[in-house]
Structure 1
């Protein structure tokens, strides 16, 4: 006999479509899962049939654009998410504001149970990490319009050996957001943005395609999701400033790629000008829709800890949308009663591209853009971040900290992490360096539960690893290099080398 369990679900007024007092309903697995019918040839058709059998509850959840930092209750400026708009009337950033009064009609226990019930299921689209929180992300979109590769649900890795060996920590975790469809956390935001574009095009909005400036990962995510939906993608890349692995992704996915003789900030300025003149939707994090997907990684962290809140979360920062996205995810969980506090946030920057760090060290007195210098953490090589105001807000609200990492520090940290079984990107090396510095200063204690966010897969940055382990980086000691040993093809030579190696290996 099929098992069942009790779940808090809302009743709804048939006249007003408004939620009333929650009641306890008996829910069977068939209510939560789409069963693959033998006769079904189309997953979306099967989802529709399932909804006819178990019709979804009617709700009044909604979201809109409002000027960032404005009080939604008093602001006279707002926009539908179906509007093509990126800036407020004053030229400032926009933010996606959800109707909290509607969401608060259900207790935190309801949202925890609902989100947990969807994890890892094949129920389209709710099995995806992002879309399992659909009501908090893009509540009014039809499931038919969602473009998803079941992104999210990424591994929260217990970095046991790294924590104990290098930091004397027992409760260190790495959120591997780079173990994703295109190998980076950018998938979390791009599924939301491209899904909305898919919706807008079906509404006959004047949109030819989607464009972005990128240091690599944004273009990979954009091109993959657009290709899946049959939407043209246009990518502006700074010439000779990203890895081959990152460059080949948009090319392979059929994007129209422009290699431009400038840096990311120059590409960003050009794409903003182009999208203001042509029917191309802007996909950079200036567009606040991206952050709605990225914030779900914060909610996932809480889920993976059974809704216990870690003391610290450390995030690499470049264009700075991500640190705000994590704050937003944690804040929503606290505001809606899923948890009773939020973690302290740390934004980690490369010293060669550190405008937020310099602003923080000045006690937030004056922000100055910088000319970003070359860094192995190429995705955060940004000197004039679009989301600077969002980042400062998130850090102030979370009693946060900003740290930086030199090139040698981030490469050493990456090598140390890899030596304990990880295979991380240089940006994660920046975050680990920040952790090491905060542990050394005593700000982060040995007992503090800490999560480091890994933003991309290490396989995208193999050349930097090869150069490090070959001692081939100018003016860098490469202290943890582990080059291969050349040896003659005979038994005696191999034995001599192995005996020498074993004599230096710690005995257990």
Structure 2
């Protein structure tokens, strides 16, 4: 049965009536059973829609796709230790957010919705805007006023309306929530269909490893869209009997904005808003993540942990990757900084991480870093 379920009360709602929260104002999760036919999967195109039976889209004609997914998984040595890296910067819009956008916007098309709004610090907005354009759906993106111009240019090229919001990332979210009273909210934080796309990261990793699970996966933790996707995806595979263990989820935050890392290190089940500073890792600079308490629970359940990384560590990892031929954005470098910390502390493990976004999205910021280096 495909239906929304309130994360607090357990009350269920049909998915064919647009909503972004429960009647009581709580977050919604999705009740859905993923199915896997490994023979069918093997014979399909190398994109994320090869897992069709595990994705909650009932009408194949509604699928909005750029043939995305199945990004390369490559071994890379970091400081003398090896990890496998998914090159998610190679997606059509330059980040892994395309995974969530293809499923969410396919759902929107399936419902016959013609206009959406979204709020973003950049990459999620780019992804929703591109897939809205592909589906001929009107789109308006609410952005912090200081969003990178390269990301804004990308969204404008897709024909998206842009609303710059003065103040913090939280001010941007508040403006979008107000608009959501009259327009469908295609939110990568609130709408659980987005996570049904990001979970394909876990499916691909396991397939590329011969249908086995890694020991650990190192992912960013801003709003946690990939972290949640990994938790759902690896659990789907475990329930289906395809893998025999859950990887540890290792979550990375920028030290300048690390409410979840601080809560985890104090053994708290709920996080508190903490003082934050500006960070190079703008994509994970989320002071009040909507699903923050869920993220803490998921990391704990997988016996994972949180790392916070300094601005110097982010810069160092950005330049380190560049010298190996990988041009990634600073937010992506934050995840790699966390990965490098994890690798120095662990015995031999099969560890997977990713390049989350392309460096071309942050040219101005990268030029400044290079000038200062």
**What TM-score do the two structures reach when normalised by structure 1?**
0.71
Matching residue within 145, 167, 190 for 2:101: 190
- Secondary structure of 2:287 counterpart: coil
Greater mean alpha carbon deviation, residues 264-273 or residues 328-337: 264-273
How far has the Cα of 1:417 moved from its partner? 1.5
Cα–Cα, structure 1 residues 365 and 394, in superposed 2: closer, same or farther, change >3 Å?
closer
Query: What residue is the counterpart of 1:65 in the other structure?
Result: 4
- Secondary structure of 1:233 counterpart: strand
* 1:237 pairs with 2:173: no
Query: What residue is the counterpart of 1:299 in the other structure?
Result: 203
Query: What residue is the counterpart of 1:8 in the other structure?
Result: none
Query: What residue is the counterpart of 1:394 in the other structure?
Result: 298
How far has the Cα of 1:387 moved from its partner? 1.4
Write out per-residue CA displacement over residues 265-307 of structure 1, whole angstroms, 9 at most, x where no aligned residue.
111111112112x133332321111000000011100011111
Greater mean alpha carbon deviation, residues 357-366 or residues 379-388: 357-366
Query: What residue is the counterpart of 1:125 in the other structure?
Result: none
Give, in whole Å, the separation in 1 of the partners of 2:93 and 2:12: 33
Give, in whole Å, the separation in 2 of the partners of 1:385 and 1:377: 15
- Secondary structure of 1:178 counterpart: helix
Q: Is the 8 A contact 1:119 1:153 kept in 2?
A: no
Cα–Cα, structure 1 residues 114 and 283, in superposed 2: closer, same or farther, change >3 Å?
same
Give, in whole Å, the separation in 2 of the partners of 1:408 and 1:392: 26
Query: What residue is the counterpart of 1:270 in the other structure?
Result: 175
* 1:252 pairs with 2:164: no
Q: Is the 8 A contact 1:321 1:391 kept in 2?
A: no
Write out per-residue CA displacement over residues 210-236 of structure 1, whole angstroms, 9 at most, x where no aligned residue.
111111111111111111111100111
Give, in whole Å, the separation in 2 of the partners of 1:389 and 1:217: 23
Give, in whole Å, the separation in 1 of the partners of 2:355 and 2:30: 25
Q: Is the 8 A contact 1:87 1:93 kept in 2?
A: yes
Give, in whole Å, the separation in 1 of the partners of 2:111 and 2:332: 35
How far has the Cα of 1:452 moved from its partner? 1.2
Query: What residue is the counterpart of 2:357 in the other structure?
Result: 456
Query: What residue is the counterpart of 2:74 in the other structure?
Result: 157
Query: What residue is the counterpart of 1:35 in the other structure?
Result: none
* 1:146 pairs with 2:76: no
- Secondary structure of 1:452 counterpart: strand
Query: What residue is the counterpart of 2:370 in the other structure?
Result: 469
Query: What residue is the counterpart of 1:378 in the other structure?
Result: 282
Q: Is the 8 A contact 1:320 1:386 kept in 2?
A: no
Aligned length: 373
Q: Which runs of 5+ in 2 are unaligned?
A: none
Give, in whole Å, the separation in 2 of the partners of 1:147 and 1:249: 19
Cα–Cα, structure 1 residues 315 and 69, in superposed 2: closer, same or farther, change >3 Å?
farther
Give, in whole Å, the separation in 2 of the partners of 1:302 and 1:359: 30
- Secondary structure of 2:261 counterpart: helix
Give, in whole Å, the separation in 2 of the partners of 1:371 and 1:83: 39
How far has the Cα of 1:371 moved from its partner? 4.8
- Secondary structure of 1:470 counterpart: helix
Write out per-residue CA displacement over residues 339-381 of structure 1, whole angstroms, 9 at most, x where no aligned residue.
1111111110011111111110110154212354221111111
- Secondary structure of 1:113 counterpart: helix
**What TM-score do the two structures reach when normalised by structure 2?**
0.95
Larger radius of gyration: 1
Q: Is the 8 A contact 1:321 1:387 kept in 2?
A: no
Write out per-residue CA displacement over residues 416-441 of structure 1, whole angstroms, 9 at most, x where no aligned residue.
1221222222122212221222233x
Cα–Cα, structure 1 residues 117 and 69, in superposed 2: closer, same or farther, change >3 Å?
farther
How far has the Cα of 1:139 moved from its partner? 4.1
Query: What residue is the counterpart of 1:169 in the other structure?
Result: 81
Cα–Cα, structure 1 residues 239 and 366, in superposed 2: closer, same or farther, change >3 Å?
same
- Secondary structure of 1:132 counterpart: helix
Once the two structures are superposed, the pairs formed by residues 65-464 of structure 1 within 5 Å of their partners are 65-68=4-7, 75=10, 77-99=11-33, 103=35, 111-120=37-46, 128-129=47-48, 131-140=49-58, 142-159=59-76, 162-163=77-78, 166=79, 168-170=80-82, 172-201=83-112, 207-240=113-146, 242-276=147-181, 278-440=182-344, 442=345, 444-445=346-347, 447-464=348-365
Q: CA RMSD in A?
A: 1.7
How far has the Cα of 1:89 moved from its partner? 3.4
Q: Which runs of 5+ in 1 are unaligned?
A: 1-61, 104-109, 121-127, 202-206, 472-477, 479-508
Give, in whole Å, the separation in 2 of the partners of 1:174 and 1:352: 25
